[in-house]
Chain A
Amino acid sequence: MERDREESVDLAQISLRPLQLSDVDDLMVWTTDEKVPKFCTWEPYSSKDQGIDFIQNKACEFLWSRAICLHDRAIGFILMTSCSATDQSREKSVELGYVLGSKYWSKGIMTYVVKQVKKVAFREFPHLERLEALVDAENVGSQRVLEKAGFHREGVLRKYLFFKGKSRDMVIFSVLSTDLNHQD
């Protein structure tokens, strides 16, 4: 993996806040980068209108979401969705998703953010029992984020999703409210 610079990031400069319309140019940096949505269902954006549409119409539809900021500039996005949209029996589960600009990969930023959001999830949603995440079996970097953030790897769901013309094996991870009592 190439890196432009070997700079590490001072994690104290990483913060989470709601995404705003004024973040659109920063959002376009990661949404137009082909490397970023490689394992996502969406294609890289080709116009600023898509960025505006996401911020104004899509971001608010998630159960919870935040822009991941470095010096208050958005470099990524983290979200939670309810698992009960199609199945009432999944109402105690929430799914985590996240994306980060490729310039900021491999610096421990995502792990740092996920560790915080893990705690936020169980505080924000007191009835929550299970926080889960599904990662493409080929997306080793993202799997490492979750492992380092204290998620349990439960198994591989074969051909669980189908998008961009192919079936995807997804690794499923979870952290339970009861796991948190034994962690940092």
Chain B
Amino acid sequence: MSNLDLSKISLRPFKLSDVDDFLLWAGDDQVTQNLRWKTCGSREEALAFIRDVCIPHPWRRSICLDDRSIGFVSVYPWSGDDRCKADIGYAVAADYWGQGIATKAVKMAVPQVFNDLSHLVRLQAFTSPENKASQRVVEKAGFLKEGLLRKYIYFEENIKDSVVFSFLSTDEFPHDD
């Protein structure tokens, strides 16, 4: 495993020109299996997904390595009386797993998100109990594990438990270590 220089990791909005890089990871079942994304099956699908979903999204950023897209961080705010909270999701291309990239990306995203979403008080993450790597990402980024929600999510005809984590506007923002 090479020692990646994490200073080469940046966050920025998606562009249509990201399509080929995007397809490399959004077209990979390994990456999308824990998301509610449908795996992209073609360049056309990937282009449509970037154009119709990623770009208009309230807060979605490409995780970039030397400005090439290798993943995403998304924050979806609730609306109306519930706009005090938002859900965070993230994924990284399989080739880049195990190098602290998702953790770095989430750490970078947290202060930006609280700055950009004015009513936000609580950022929450829901992970599958089996996905330990994903839980470590948010733990290292300073999220607090709150509990196990039993049979919380129903997706693709499976009912699943969820581990819930949160980061509050009043929590100390993560530092780079």
Once the chains are docked, how many angstroms separate the CA of A86 from the CA of B124? 16
Contact of B24 with A by CB under 8 A: no
A167→B84 contact, CB < 8 A:
yes
Which residue from B78, B121, B147 sits with its C-beta under 8 Å from A167? B121
Question: Which of B38-46, B101-109, B152-160 is the interface stretch?
Answer: B152-160
Name 5 A/B residue pairs within 8 A (Cβ), A-sorted.
Answer: A89-B153, A129-B159, A157-B147, A158-B168, A162-B84
Interface residues of B (CB under 8 A from A): 36, 78-79, 81-82, 84-85, 121-122, 124, 144, 146-155, 159, 164, 166, 168
Among A135-183, those with CB < 8 Å from B are: 152, 154-163, 167, 172, 174, 176
A-side contacts of B124, CB under 8 Å: 157
Given A158-B122, A162-B81, A162-B84: A91 in contact with B147 (beta carbons within 8 A): no
Nearest chain-B residue to A168 (Cβ)?
A: B84
Contact of A38 with B by CB under 8 A: no
Of B36, B84, B144, B168, most buried by chain A (CB within 10 Å of CB) is B84
Contact of A115 with B by CB under 8 A: no
A157→B154 contact, CB < 8 A:
no
Nearest chain-A residue to B167 (Cβ)?
A: A158
Once the chains are docked, how many angstroms separate the CA of A129 from the CA of B157? 13
Nearest chain-B residue to A153 (Cβ)?
A: B147
Contact of A41 with B by CB under 8 A: yes
| Apart from A154-B147, A155-B164, A172-B147, 8 more pairs, CB < 8 Å | A90-B152, A92-B154, A156-B146, A156-B147, A157-B122, A159-B84, A159-B166, A174-B151
Once the chains are docked, how many angstroms separate the CA of A161 from the CA of B150? 21
Once the chains are docked, how many angstroms separate the CA of A160 from the CA of B79? 13
B152→A155 contact, CB < 8 A:
no
CB distance from B128 to the nearest CB of A (A): 13
Given A130-B150, A154-B147: A92 in contact with B168 (beta carbons within 8 A): no
A-side contacts of B153, CB under 8 Å: 89-90
Given A157-B164, A157-B166, A158-B122: A172 in contact with B149 (beta carbons within 8 A): yes
